[in-house]
Amino acid sequence: MRRKSITTSVLNVLLKPTAVGQRNPDRAFDRMVAAAEKATGGDAASDAEFVDQFRFLMHCFVGHEGLSPMGWQSVVGDLSNRLENRLRIRRLIAENPAIADEPIERPLFIVGLPRTATTLCHNIIAKSAGHRGPKLWEWMFTDLAGDPAAERRYVRTANQRVGAFMRLSPAFKVIHPLAAEKPDECNYLLPHGSMHLARVLMRDYHDWLGERDALPDYEYLRQALQVLQYGRERKRWILKSPMHLDHIPELLKVFPGATVVWTHRDPVTVLGSLCSMVEATQLLHVRRPDLHAIGRMWLSIQAGAIDRGRAARVAAPRESFVDVPYTWLNAEPHDKIPRLYELIGAEWTDEDAENLDGVLARPGIGRQHEYELSRYGLTPGQVEDAFGDYTKMVQAMRFK
């Protein structure tokens, strides 16, 4: 499987002159903010803390000496889009205060380690009548209903970006296929998290995340859902991100009626595939990814997420959580998915059964994408030690 196309190397040469902004990130960032204000009519000065945190993030990216010219362009493009979206959402709520009154009732969050069939679970549940999973373009261009021309423009732009990304990193056609009009992860809206560390291993940013209060991010997530719901039919939101494991208390505080569906799989099986996904991402951003550093950091990130998630659920209502072994989705979906619907308070219908067959008929996400831990300097014993008794707990779940 090719992780990087030849085009990537060519573009790094052609884009080298444009990477001059790396020498003065503050000037580049100021231009980015001005452009975002012009594009959205928003006011960055009214959201100073958010903007300052993004400035810090840009400095973290630039501080990595291996950041490539194409990596720089990718960072600028992504942060610009996230800033524009933030300013647009804030402006819309200021202009339409009723948006803030939209109730987000009984949302469902799918969490778990990456590569544990969270995407498969999301694809199934989000397709049900009465459910709604935000589409990739909606995360990238969150806006009100009512302007079909704007929606077509958003979808077209998102498809162009997805197409370019897939051409540069063919591996993602297997690892995590993207499409503008399909539901996707909250990561495309949330401003901070380990998704940035998948692009570049930034120790200063990693440490900052560990100390930062993530509650404002979940309040922002609620605002985005309120914008997407305002003027549209109300449905149950189906949301997904492995990163939510790190922030269960914040999630339940902002969404007190939420259900958390937690998928489980042996982390020894997961980590090699996850590190391969990170490697493929980093090849687009840094000149020579350090594979063993990827292994060390991402083992720490995921083991920490499991520890924090398990600790958080002890203090949370037991009925807020539904545990889903990987075998439910991988080996016994026709028997177990109807049971899952019962547990989440949803009705399983003939239409859902047809949808399930359609989802399962597509190429298996990740089934062609398993890699040895040793490539990333890890052993099964190291992974088991990092995750403690979680591995045994997952093994016992296989027989539920």
Output 169 or 375, whichever has higher pLDDT.
375
Angle (CA) 194-57-191 rounded to 5° is: 55
3-state SS class at 263: strand
Q: What is the mean pLDDT of the chain?
A: 90
Within a domain: 363: yes
DSSP states along 48-72: HHHHHHHHHHHHHHHTSTTB-HHHH
Query: Would 251 be classed as within a structural domain?
Result: yes
Summarize pLDDT for 42-87 with one digit per residue, the tens: 999 999 999 999 999 999 999 988 899 889 999 999 999 999 999 9
Closest listed residue to residue 368, CA positions, set 162, 179, 170, 126: 170
Q: Is residue 115 part of a domain?
A: yes
Check whether 18 has a pLDDT greater than 60.
Answer: no
Tell me, yes or no, whether 208 lies in a domain.
yes
CATH number of domain containing 242: 3.40.50.300
Integer Cα distance of 360 and 10 in angstroms? 38
pLDDT, tens digit, 9 for 90 and up, residues 312-371: 999 999 999 999 999 998 888 999 999 999 999 999 999 999 999 888 886 544 445 557
Asked whether residue 7 carries a pLDDT value surpassing 60, the answer given is no
Inter-residue contact 256 to 124 (CB < 8 Å): no
Q: Which domain holds residue 74?
A: 6-397
For the four alpha carbons of 48, 53, 57 and 60, in that order, the dihedral sign comes to positive
Q: Does the pLDDT value for residue 3 go beyond 60?
A: no
In a domain, 288, yes or no: yes
Q: Binning pLDDT at 50, 70 and 90, where does residue 298 land? A: very high
How many domains does the structure of the chain reveal?
A: 1
**Is residue 99 situated within a structural domain?**
yes
Q: Does 232 reside within a domain?
A: yes
Q: Judge whether 213 lies within some domain.
A: yes
